[in-house]
Amino acid sequence: MEPWVLVTLAAAAVQTWRLMLQKQLKGLGLSTGGATFSRFLFAAPLALAGLATLLWYHDAPFPALDLRFWAFAVTGGLAQIVATFCLVALFSERSFAVGVAFTKTEVIQVAAFSALVLGETVSLPGLGAIALGTLGVIVLSRPPEGWRSGKALNRATGLGVVAGALFGLSAIGYRGATVEIDHPDALLRAIAALAMVTSFQTLAMSLWLRWREPGELSRVLSAWRRVLPVGVTGMLGSLGWFTAFALQNAAYVRSLGQVELLFSILVSALVFREVPRRWEVLGIVLLGLSIVGIVLLA
């Protein structure tokens, strides 16, 4: 099995774990911005420490980071932050499931962005596997009342499509940033890009919270014991994604990364004893076929 496949599967598993931990932060009295900021606050110094360790191991100088690298890194970092806020806004919508389903168009949009921005195209069979996976995820996201015309096109739909586009743009930014670093070690390129991106995101969100939510920074810091595991798992998951981006086309990585949804369903069934519905079984089958196709075709 290709290294990028193993790394992507590991990243998806760790991200599932991180999301479970991050949900628990709501009981700490943190705002949405504070909970989001927590993953960057502790991930940045961990990534910087990891970069320093790898540079020492390779006896290599700090990599040269040109303007093109920073354009990719900053674009990806900002797109991820705004996409996260759009996703959080979906929680206030009655048609939440519909909106979330439309965020899953991210993978198709990543394929388009890859071709337009990076010149990295996807084969026709590979595009078919990606489309099949997207269909499977949309089926899995079907609301209990079904896809009624009155509930399919609304504010949640718009937020979902925008969030998907921005998550797709962030993936392209991160792929571009890792490619711009001149070093043969994919792990070093990944952690260097991750360290710079998370440092930028920490600074940007610190300024935002100080301006828009006075006192929230102090609340995050005072809850550091509960927040730290989120930062650690967030850093490990992000390192997995960045390493996969350093090795493979972002469209294939994000498509395979949808296995995270299968992990979530598995946790739901084993931990919470929730039995999947008929259309969820269909979605699982479609997504499973897509993942097998991606692994064989990429």
Q: What is the pLDDT of residues 12-64, one digit of tens each?
A: 888 878 767 766 665 667 777 887 787 788 889 999 999 999 999 989 899 99
pLDDT surpassing 90 at residue 295: no
**3-state DSSP of the chain:** CCHHHHHHHHHHHHHHHHHHHHHHHHHHCCCHHHHHHHHHHHHHHHHHHHHHHHHHHHCCCCCCCCHHHHHHHHHHHHHHHHHHHHHHHHHHCCCHHHHHHHHCCHHHHHHHHHHHHHCCCCCHHHHHHHHHHHHHHHHHCCCCCCCCHHHHCCHHHHHHHHHHHHHHHHHHHHHHHHHHCCCCCHHHHHHHHHHHHHHHHHHHHHHHHHHHCCCHHHHHHHCHHHHHHHHHHHHHHHHHHHHHHHHCCHHHHHHHCCHHHHHHHHHHHHHCCCCCCHHHHHHHHHHHHHHHHHHHHC
More confident residue, 144 or 244: 244
Token pair 């995101």 is found at: 201
Count Cβ atoms below 10 Å from residue 266 Cβ, excluding itself.
Answer: 12
Q: What percent of the chain has pLDDT over 90?
A: 31
Q: Distance between CA atoms of 39 and 220, rounded to whole angstroms?
A: 10
pLDDT surpassing 90 at residue 245: yes
Most confident of the ranges 24-38, 92-106, 242-256: 242-256
Query: Given pLDDT bands bounded at 50, 70 and 90, which one contains residue 267?
Result: low
Of the ranges 77-91, 115-129, 140-154, 203-217, which one carries the lowest mean pLDDT score?
140-154
Rounded (5°) CA angle 179-81-157: 110
Kindly state the average pLDDT of the residues 269-293. 75
Token digits for 141? 């996201």
pLDDT for the residue numbered 147: 55
pLDDT for the residue numbered 35: 75
Q: What is the chain's mean pLDDT, rounded?
A: 83
pLDDT for the residue numbered 42: 82
Query: Given pLDDT bands bounded at 50, 70 and 90, which one contains residue 287?
Result: confident
pLDDT digits (tens, 9 = 90+) for 186-242: 999 999 999 999 999 999 999 999 998 999 898 888 888 888 888 888 889 999 999
pLDDT surpassing 70 at residue 153: no
pLDDT surpassing 60 at residue 256: yes
Give domain limits for the chain: 3-297
Nearest alpha-carbon partner for 230 in 57, 9, 24, 10: 24
More confident residue, 92 or 254: 254
pLDDT for the residue numbered 91: 59
pLDDT for the residue numbered 154: 61
pLDDT for the residue numbered 169: 93
Q: Residue 15 corresponds to which amino acid?
A: Q
Nearest alpha-carbon partner for 84 in 164, 200, 192: 164
Kindly state the average pLDDT of the residues 73-94. 80
pLDDT surpassing 90 at residue 92: no
Q: Distance between CA atoms of 158 and 188, rounded to whole angstroms?
A: 37
Query: Given pLDDT bands bounded at 50, 70 and 90, which one contains residue 101?
Result: low
pLDDT surpassing 90 at residue 174: yes
